[in-house]
Amino acid sequence: MARSVAEVLDLIQSEEVAYVDVRFTDPKGKLQHVTLDVDLIDEDFFEEGFMFDGSSIAGWKSIDQSDMKLMPDASSAYLDPFYAEKTLCVHCNVVEPDTGEAYDRDPRGTAVKAEAYLKASGVGDAFYCGPEAEFFIFDDVRYSVTPQKVSFQIDAHAAAWNTDTEYEMGNQAHRAGHKGGYFPVNPIDEAQDMRGEMLSTMKRMGIKVDKHHHEVATCQHELGMVFGGLVEQADNIQKYKYVIHNVAHAYGKSVTFMPKPMKGDNGSGMHVNMSIWKDGRPLFAGDKYADLSQEALWFIGGILKHAKALNALTNPSTNSYKRLIPGFEAPVLRAYSARNRSGCVRIPWTESPKAKRVEARFPDPSANPYLCFAALLMAGLDGIRNKIDPGPASDKDLYDLPPEELAEIPTVCGSLREALEELEKDMDFLLQGDVFTRDQLDSYIRLKWEEVYAFEHTPHPIEYAMYYSC
């Protein structure tokens, strides 16, 4: 629950907190932290912030301009469930120390500006999103990237490929088959208790949760969170990843949020359910297709129009495009529907107008959640502002269409290289209201080009299989 500064200070006293962890997110989406002794924490700390060196954060300050300030957001405070010493955590925005203005490359600050821009636009006063991030749990992960060896190897006791593996205590054989993980009970679903601990830990940290389950692929899982505001849910995704990594680690397991950690099975997405409200009413409920409003259809139009530029922020890894290929329920087609799941945007069925929403299905959990959610909102608002028609809905099975019909439906990007090129051409919708800045996006693009170059300049094992003897 959101807390005031006074309530946080009371909590520190009542819980006998020893340390305060100030946390922030870097441009790539990784949660960072500095731990402070509790004696440094008072009202002035929340008003004046904490200075730190930003030169070591990729994509931020140079060494000659390294001073930055973290401004803690008291409303985000929660007790850390993993540290031995009682520690309170608080998420921070980053500001310029000399002016006190928001640092334009700070992802959380971008999300804050996106919510403010929505209110200033007059379109709505609240944006709710509900992300659904999937992940894999493995027992053993090894990889190498050296001049003479580029390889990875993964294993898990629960994996489908271990049905005939010899174990010292015997092989009990209860495993979900290939693409068979949705939804058998234990003992096939071997991670029930672990996921339960993950979800209950999230709940103790103040996150509203609803479910957990095994996903389609072998070793693939998902936990559910109840929808919330943009900044709140981006904070929650950071907590979500933090909890899942640490609970799994305590069980001797390893978690990855890579979209496609292995070939031949489903990848991990992060579907994002979105709705706008105004004056206490749902803006997306109406009498158009699937009981949507005209504004909701325009919102979808904006998402579809800018989907390729969005890919650079919603699917920001080279691995993302191992998932965004036809098949495996991958949402590669720039289409929308209330029925099939193969398009970029789906309208989930609901009886209540209050639950009317649109679901972007192409994002994945490698995304920086602050930038991802803010970019989706900006694309949708551009659709509403410019009344972008999404065209007719696609209610057929899009993967079962004749080739000539399928060829007429545009697709999302096929690589991170293409996505970055598209963002360079189509970023004006993100710059509205200075939510994103040109400097921020240029810096982000430079960071991501480094990943593209690293990927494209490294020989792949499959190339040896295909070409070594040519």
Domain ranges of the chain: 5-103, 126-467
pLDDT for 407 beyond 80: no
Q: Give strand pairing partners of 126.
A: 277
Low-confidence winner among 54-58, 217-221, 256-260, 450-454 (lowest mean pLDDT): 54-58
Cα–chain-centroid distance for residue 373?
Answer: 8
Q: 333-352: buried (b, 16+ CB within 10 Å) or exposed (e) per residue?
A: bbbbbeebebbbbbbeeeee
Q: pLDDT confidence of 313, banded at 50, 70, 90?
A: very high
pLDDT for 329 beyond 80: no
Rounded distance between C-alpha atoms, residue 26 and residue 369, angstroms: 11
pLDDT of residue 325: 87
Q: Which of the residues 7, 21, 125, 132 is marked catalytic? A: 132
pLDDT of residue 462: 95
Q: Nearest Cα to 181, choosing from 165, 193, 196, 192?
A: 192
Residue ranges of the annotated binding site are: 132, 134, 210, 215, 222, 266-267, 271, 323, 329, 341, 354, 359, 361
The answer to whether 315 and 418 have CB atoms below 8 angstroms apart is: no
pLDDT for 431 beyond 70: yes
- CA dist 244 to 199, 202, 368, Å? 9, 9, 17
Question: Most confidently modeled of 1-15, 93-107, 391-405, 434-448?
Answer: 434-448
- CA dist 433 to 101, 125, 285, 291, 303, Å? 15, 16, 26, 31, 18
pLDDT of residue 102: 93
Instruction: Report the amino acid identity of residue 233.
Output: Q
CATH fold match for the domains 5-103 and 126-467: no
- CA dist 129 to 138, 227, 360, 369, 370, Å? 29, 5, 10, 11, 12
Q: Which of the residues 157, 213, 341, 385 is marked catalytic? A: 341
Q: Which of the residues 361, 364, 417, 422 is marked catalytic? A: 361
Say whether 222 is catalytic. Answer: yes
Say whether 438 is catalytic. Answer: no
pLDDT of residue 318: 98
Say whether 85 is catalytic. Answer: no
Say whether 15 is catalytic. Answer: no
How do residues 228-280 score in pLDDT, each as one tens digit? 999 999 999 999 999 999 999 999 999 999 999 999 899 999 999 999 999 99
Say whether 408 is catalytic. Answer: no
Say whether 47 is catalytic. Answer: no
- CA dist 121 to 125, 286, 300, 340, 354, Å? 9, 21, 18, 32, 22
Any idea what DSSP says for residue 101? P
CATH number of 126-467: 3.30.590.10
Report the number of secondary-structure helices (H) and strands (E) in the chain. Answer: 14, 18
Say whether 404 is catalytic. Answer: no
Low-confidence winner among 78-87, 121-130, 398-407 (lowest mean pLDDT): 398-407
How do residues 177-209 score in pLDDT, each as one tens digit? 888 888 889 999 999 999 999 999 999 999 999
Q: Is 22 exposed, middle or buried (0-12, 13-18, 19+ CB in 10 A)?
A: buried
Q: Which of the residues 134, 189, 364, 422 is marked catalytic? A: 134
pLDDT of residue 328: 62
pLDDT of residue 409: 85
pLDDT for 150 beyond 90: yes
How do residues 371-398 score in pLDDT, each as one tens digit? 999 999 999 999 999 999 999 998 877 7
Say whether 456 is catalytic. Answer: no
Confidence (pTM): 0.96
What size, in residues, is the chain? 470
pLDDT of residue 327: 61
Please give the backbone phi and psi of residue 129, each rounded to the nearest 5 degrees, phi first: -135, 150
Cis status, amide bond into 348, omega within 30 of 0: no
Q: pLDDT confidence of 63, banded at 50, 70, 90?
A: low
Residue ranges of the annotated binding site for L-glutamate are: 266-267, 323, 329, 341, 361
For 64, residues 6+ apart whose C-beta sits below 8 A from its C-beta are: none
pLDDT of residue 6: 96
Q: Which of the residues 73, 80, 115, 222 is marked catalytic? A: 222
Residue ranges of the annotated binding site for ATP are: 210, 341, 354
Rounded distance between C-alpha atoms, residue 229 and residue 272, angstroms: 12
Architecture of domain 5-103: Roll (3.10)
Residue ranges of the annotated binding site for Mg(2+) are: 132, 134, 215, 222, 271, 359
Q: Which of the residues 43, 53, 428, 439 is marked catalytic? A: 53
Low-confidence winner among 47-51, 181-185, 313-317 (lowest mean pLDDT): 181-185
Rounded distance between C-alpha atoms, residue 163 and residue 170, angstroms: 11
How do residues 64-73 score in pLDDT, each as one tens digit? 667 899 999 9
- The sign of the dihedral angle between the CA atoms of 334, 336, 342, 348 is positive
- Can you tell me the mean pLDDT for 284-298? 97
Token match 């000399």: residue? 98
Q: pLDDT confidence of 403, banded at 50, 70, 90?
A: confident
Q: Which of the residues 108, 212, 271, 417 is marked catalytic? A: 271
Rounded distance between C-alpha atoms, residue 326 and residue 405, angstroms: 15
Percent of the chain with pLDDT over 90: 86
Helix 307-314 × helix 369-385 angle, to 10°: 160
Say whether 457 is catalytic. Answer: no
Rounded distance between C-alpha atoms, residue 438 and residue 81, angstroms: 39
pLDDT of residue 342: 77
* pLDDT, the chain, mean: 94
